[in-house]
Amino acid sequence: MTTPSPPTNKPAESRRAALNEAVDKDVARIEKGERERRSVLGYTVFMGTIAGLFVLPVVGGAYLGRWLDGLAEGYSVRWTVSLILLGVVIGGINVYRYLEEHP
C-alpha cells in the first residue's frame, strides 16, 4: 500500500511569490523616492513646466483665433472662443501625459 503524497499548493505559492515581488518593487520605489527628494527649485521647475504645457496651447489658440476672426467681415469671436477651448483641451491632455510620465 502506498502512502498518499501531501497536496501541493502551486496556485497559492505562485500568488505568494507574485505578492512578494510586488512588495519588493514597492519598497524599492519608496526607498528611491526618499533618496531623491526634490528641492524647492525642483518643485518650482516642475510646476513651471506643467503651467507652460497648459498655458501655451491656450494662448496660441487665442492668438490664432483672433487672427482668423480679423479676416472675417464684421465683429466675430467665434474662432477665438473655439480655439481657446481647443487649447484648454490640448493643454489638459499635455499635463495629463506629462504627469503620467513624471510622477
- Segment 11-16 mean pLDDT: 82
Q: How far apart are CA 85 and CA 103, in angstroms?
A: 27
What band does 6 get if pLDDT is binned at 50, 70 and 90? Answer: low
**What pLDDT is recorded for position 2?**
61
Structure confidence by residue, pLDDT tens digits, 50-89: 999 999 999 999 999 999 988 888 788 889 999 999 999 9
Q: Any residues with CB less than 8 A from the CB of 82 and at least 6 apart, and which?
A: 65
Q: Cβ distance 69 to 42 under 8 Å?
A: no
Residue 46 has pLDDT above 90, yes or no: no
